[in-house]
């Protein structure tokens, strides 16, 4: 399947237009859910960390440091990707699956259009391009959420939290997180498109394909996360 | 002209088509008819490459479609227009975007030229002024006509219509049949229609191929199909009481 996806498009200008549409559909439309999740989870991470810090040996800025590292290393790239697997993955599988069962994909093929390339490539490129932007946005919002939760709850000060955020910061962690995100974006779109493209039957089967796409891309993300961590961090 | 030579097709252990040989002539409406499940849609899908035939040849004016690679097939397919049973219009596009899509993909027309061609095709199917509607806002008959407009937008040499009358009222069915007939004659194209609508068979069938049990059972035209004494054809053509009455009155006239 991927061999056919990554062939030369029938017409570059049409594929570019589709890429821009997919940036809107896959990327921009995911901003609200990413913002909501990141803000609240960041707040909860900092509150839980603060509530579990009973040892006087730990400096106060530890809360900020833990919020920063857990957000950058795991929450933003992995958890947000799992959420996107649900939102974007099911959308892709049902969109392409519906096109399959209503013969729209056959119509494309009859016209001489490479349907896999036409439908899937712009989605993959949009995800690979925009998911890292979403994850950077998520990191920023998560740490802001953590700060807001601590300050509002009077558990820390802005200065201490910012000190923690900056403590032991390793820029390579950002590279690691974004590398994971690019791989996850590719996996979500390709796995979901596979289930949608090869669906057989009717609307009931499109629903099943959509569910299978979310489950499979989530499992694939978890396995890839483990392997990438082994390869990059260790 | 399209020729199919010794086409066989099997799904798993079940053979659907057995050594089909047929010729579909240019400038004629060629019908593939038969009862449901006899293999007529499979034959049509083999002809356009949506199914791969196990053996045999499909010749588009002498060019063997079965041995072509993806790129070569893509070029042949730009000469094919197809109307699907459910019209298969793109949901996310307006009527004019649907009709103009093949032009946008494969022609070097400017936007203005494309618009002119789209308007012409829509006018040809009596849908002038419906450019901005979405398929979901159109009736079944309108969707079929948009499908025809899209199929003819690239000036195809070959037109395939898969059950063009299914789900339509008798009046709209006649309209679609006449449109297919007119377009075939006007553009001198090879039209292949898969149908089991007896009205279409009588009205537009220049060349009729009857598929039964996966085999080409009979070939003729709209006149010979009425008079043939082939029992399988008889049970297909005269399945309805209406057609039986027509046969009785014809027989009485002969006496």
Closest Cβ opposite residue B105 in set A106, A109, A111: A111
Predicted confidence (pLDDT) per residue in A76-102, tens digit: 999 999 999 999 999 999 999 999 999
Average model confidence (pLDDT) for chain B? 87
Q: How far apart are CA B211 and CA B16, in angstroms?
A: 11
Tokens of A155: 């558990």
Tokens of B46: 């083999």
B70 lies within 8 A of chain A by CB? yes
A contacts of B80 (beta carbons < 8 Å): 110
B37: left (phi over 0), alpha (psi -120 to 50) or beta: left
**pLDDT of B254:** 63
Q: How far apart are CA B158 and CA A38, in angstroms?
A: 55
The verdict on a CB contact (< 8 Å) between A103 and B75 is: no
The strand pair at B2-11 and B55-60 is best described as antiparallel
Q: How far apart are CA B34 and CA B216, in angstroms?
A: 10
Scan for tokens 């530890």, then name that residue: A62
**pLDDT of B255:** 66
Q: How far apart are CA B186 and CA B86, in angstroms?
A: 25
Lowest mean pLDDT among B39-48, B87-96, B199-208: B199-208
Q: How confident is the model at residue A228 (pLDDT cuts 50, 70, 90)?
A: very high
pLDDT above 80 for B21: yes
Q: Determine the 3-state secondary structure of A185 from DSSP.
A: helix
Predicted confidence (pLDDT) per residue in A169-203, tens digit: 888 999 999 999 999 999 999 999 999 999 998 88
Residue with more model confidence, A142 or B125: A142
Average model confidence (pLDDT) for chain A? 91
Q: Determine the 3-state secondary structure of B9 from DSSP.
A: strand
Shortest Cα distance from B34 to chain A (angstroms)? Answer: 22
CB pairs under 8 A between A and B: 54
A109 lies within 8 A of chain B by CB? yes
- Alpha carbon separation from B241 to A147, B63, B248 (Å, rounded): 81, 44, 10
Neighbours of B2 (CB within 10 A): 22
Helix and strand numbers (H, E) in chain B are 10, 10
**pLDDT of B217:** 87
A190: left (phi over 0), alpha (psi -120 to 50) or beta: alpha
Q: Determine the 3-state secondary structure of B173 from DSSP.
A: helix
The verdict on a CB contact (< 8 Å) between B106 and A102 is: no
Nearest CA in chain B to A113: B74
B156 lies within 8 A of chain A by CB? no
Nearest CA in chain B to A11: B105
Mean pLDDT of B212-241: 81
Q: How far apart are CA B32 and CA B161, in angstroms?
A: 10
B158 lies within 8 A of chain A by CB? no
- Give the side-chain half-sphere CA count within 13 A for B162: 25
Stretch 156-175 of chain A: residues touching chain B, C-beta under 8 Å: none
Q: What percent of chain A has pLDDT over 90?
A: 71
Stretch 27-66 of chain B: residues touching chain A, C-beta under 8 Å: 48-50
What letter would DSSP give residue B182? H
Shortest Cα distance from B95 to chain A (angstroms)? Answer: 14
Candidates B71, B88, B161, partner chain A, best to mutate (most A CBs within 10 A): B88
Q: How far apart are CA A103 and CA A97, in angstroms?
A: 10
**pLDDT of A177:** 93
Mean pLDDT of B115-138: 89
Which residues have CB under 8 Å from B131's CB, separation 6+? B94, B95, B96, B118, B119, B122
Q: Determine the 3-state secondary structure of A168 from DSSP.
A: coil
Q: How far apart are CA A69 and CA B47, in angstroms?
A: 60
Stretch 85-144 of chain B: residues touching chain A, C-beta under 8 Å: 85-86, 88-91, 101-102, 104-106
Shortest Cα distance from A131 to chain B (angstroms)? Answer: 24
**Is the ipTM reported for this complex over the cut 0.95?**
no
Mean pLDDT of A65-70: 91
Q: How confident is the model at residue B8 (pLDDT cuts 50, 70, 90)?
A: very high
Nearest CA in chain B to A108: B102
Closest Cβ opposite residue B74 in set A98, A103, A112: A112
The verdict on a CB contact (< 8 Å) between A104 and B91 is: yes
Q: How far apart are CA B184 and CA A155, in angstroms?
A: 80
Which residues have CB under 8 Å from A67's CB, separation 6+? A42, A45, A46, A49, A142, A143, A146, A161, A164, A165
B77 lies within 8 A of chain A by CB? yes
Stretch 47-106 of chain A: residues touching chain B, C-beta under 8 Å: 98, 102-104, 106
Shortest Cα distance from B253 to chain A (angstroms)? Answer: 46
Residue with more model confidence, A185 or B86: A185
A contacts of B161 (beta carbons < 8 Å): none
pLDDT above 80 for B189: yes
Burial state string for B28-51 with b = 16 or more CB within 10 A and e = fewer than 16:
bbbbbbbeeebbbbbbbbbbbbbb
User: Nearest to residue A189, comparing CAs of A134, A127, A135, A130?
Assistant: A127
Q: How confident is the model at residue B171 (pLDDT cuts 50, 70, 90)?
A: confident
Q: Determine the 3-state secondary structure of B62 from DSSP.
A: coil
Shortest Cα distance from B221 to chain A (angstroms)? Answer: 28
Predicted confidence (pLDDT) per residue in A4-56, tens digit: 888 888 888 889 999 999 999 999 999 999 999 999 999 999 999 988 887 77
């Amino acid at each position: 399947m991927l061999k056919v996806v990554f062939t030369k498009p029938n017409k570059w200008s049409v594929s570019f237009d589709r890429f821009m549409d997919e940036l809107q559909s896959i990327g921009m439309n995911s901003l609200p859910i990413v913002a909501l999740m990141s803000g609240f989870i960041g707040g909860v991470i900092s509150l839980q960390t603060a509530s579990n810090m009973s040892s006087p040996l730990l400096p106060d800025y530890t809360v900020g440091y833990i919020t920063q590292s857990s957000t950058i290393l795991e929450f933003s790239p992995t958890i947000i990707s799992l959420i996107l697997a649900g939102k974007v993955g099911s959308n892709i599988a049902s969109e392409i699956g519906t096109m399959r069962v209503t013969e729209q994909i056959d119509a494309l093929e009859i016209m001489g259009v490479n349907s896999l390339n036409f439908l899937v490539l712009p989605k993959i490129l949009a995800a690979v391009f925009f998911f890292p932007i979403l994850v950077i946005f998520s990191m920023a919002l998560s740490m802001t959420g953590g700060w807001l939760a601590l300050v509002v709850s009077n558990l820390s000060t802005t200065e201490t939290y910012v000190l923690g955020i900056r403590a032991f910061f390793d820029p390579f962690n950002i590279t690691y997180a974004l590398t994971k995100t690019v791989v996850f974006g590719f996996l979500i779109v390709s796995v979901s498109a596979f289930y949608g493209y090869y669906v057989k039957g009717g609307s009931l089967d499109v629903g099943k394909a959509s569910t299978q796409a979310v489950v499979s891309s989530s499992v694939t993300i978890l396995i890839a996360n483990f392997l990438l961590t082994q390869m990059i961090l260790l | 002209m399209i020729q199919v030579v010794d086409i066989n097709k099997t799904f798993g252990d079940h053979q659907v088509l057995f050594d089909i040989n047929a010729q579909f002539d240019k400038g004629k409406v060629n019908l593939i008819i038969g009862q449901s499940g006899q293999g007529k849609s499979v034959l049509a899908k083999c002809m356009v490459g949506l199914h791969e035939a196990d053996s045999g040849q499909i010749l588009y004016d002498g060019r063997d479609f079965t041995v072509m690679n993806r790129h070569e097939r893509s070029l042949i397919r730009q000469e094919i227009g197809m109307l699907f049973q459910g019209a298969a219009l793109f949901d996310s596009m307006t009527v004019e975007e649907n009709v103009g899509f093949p032009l946008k993909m494969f022609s070097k027309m400017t936007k203005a030229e494309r618009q002119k061609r789209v308007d012409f095709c829509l006018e040809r199917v009596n849908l002038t002024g419906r450019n901005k509607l979405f398929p979901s806002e159109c009736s079944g008959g309108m969707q079929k006509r948009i499908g025809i407009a899209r199929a003819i937008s690239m000036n195809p040499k070959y037109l395939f219509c898969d059950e063009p009358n299914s789900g339509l009222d008798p009046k709209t069915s006649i309209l679609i049949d006449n449109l297919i007939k007119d377009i075939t004659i006007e553009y001198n194209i090879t039209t292949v229609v898969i149908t089991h609508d007896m009205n279409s068979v009588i009205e537009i069938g220049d060349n009729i191929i009857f598929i039964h049990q996966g085999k080409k059972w009979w070939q003729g035209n709209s006149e010979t199909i009425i008079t043939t004494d082939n029992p399988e054809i008889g049970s297909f053509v005269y399945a309805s009481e209406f057609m039986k009455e027509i046969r009785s009155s014809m027989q009485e006239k002969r006496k």
